[in-house]
Structure 1
């Protein structure tokens, strides 16, 4: 425990100086070390960190934007600081700890950071294949901040936390992509929140229901083994759907909306309808490839409708 307290004291000294490129990796390693002390979770180390005021140092990092540091280094430091805060809540059902953390953390700063990051990654979220390391790092930071506020709200039930949560930019995306698992430990259930992989958005409801309906439930061991075996097929299916989606985004981009104020009303209506047709065909092609016979029936009817209009 003394080692933990000494590590916190060292980090406090580092954080008291103006951050630069030399101090940045030291502070980053400091937060990573503190996170490792807490994981498990280790309740005793968590208590030492909270009582030592590490939340104050994490808040300073999240509020700061050192001008003399590389942008990616700043995001990395903020990211590890958030992970340290999350590690303090791992396996925690103590409302007092949540209250203490909320009193040390600026909700406005958390919300502002999420808003800034979302403004810079919204296009990436909607169109990217997930290979942009810079955007992915920023998105991971925003998502972990969202999880932090969400976890504190789940622990506290504080109206201010809920208001801050629901008012962040990109709330629907973060909420839809928020996954949770429940772990039974020491006669209680712990919730662990995480970001769902983007590939999960391609999961078809019919495929999920088919998996759940066909699982071998003869025994707990058989159920687990059969689930892992069948999940391989489901993962392959989702990867295939994601590949089709990326191909469509690359080769059949969605046309921009026509500028209404610059066009004659009739020309605008024609272009608007043409854009709708292209988007409909684009969606139908993806659904047909992914959805089997029913999807091909839909695209056949759509093509027949377009041909009739032309004729």
Structure 2
């Protein structure tokens, strides 16, 4: 039996829409009124979309998606995911959610999926979860464990660890994707000049964050959607499908790399808007 009345599993591929890549600059968190000249009512206000990036990326990876969502009248917040630890990253996002009035559609890419899974638990304003080529962990699972669940990921061989001092004073590792391997590994369908910039500006994740176990997942009580990137070399498509099916998420496939929010912003914004419409 479907646990969520809003859900039905869909496997129809989205229309592929090419994009030129990342726009320059950082998109600030933005909340705009749903209609000009008058205060929106509970019936007319669109939900705020909160976007949470994953490892080896930053908030600019959502630029094309933000442009399309704002064009369609959605308030948008692109969170700066700290990438320091799953529990602390989720706590940061939860505080952000608490400061937003009205309903929220919470979307996460890659490791950001694990973050939103924890952050949305107990956040009553979160009405939908959207996973974009993302981890969808169950309780006790880590991103690292899920990445190795099925064969196909080549991420391990592309990583470069750097020893750092963590916020608690302990020594740990920051993980980067080697710049020379970034295009093929992370963003194969993104123009090379754009991928080269992404490689330079990537934000590292701690090894501890990827190994940290998730707590009770919000997807057990919040309706979920999932976009599976079939050419993903970080999280194999088989793994993405396994997690999406387990979460009873409405699922679409897109022939894209892990950097699907950059290469296919139209497809990403479309599934987010589908989730938003289902919450109204």
Q: TM-score interval w.r.t. the shorter chain?
A: under 0.3
| Higher RCO structure, 1 or 2 (CA under 8 Å, sep 6+) | 2
TM-score by length of structure 2 reads: 0.25
Between Structure 1 and Structure 2, whose CA radius of gyration is higher? 1
TM-score by length of structure 1 reads: 0.24
Structure showing the higher strand proportion among its residues: 2
Structure showing the higher helix proportion among its residues: 1
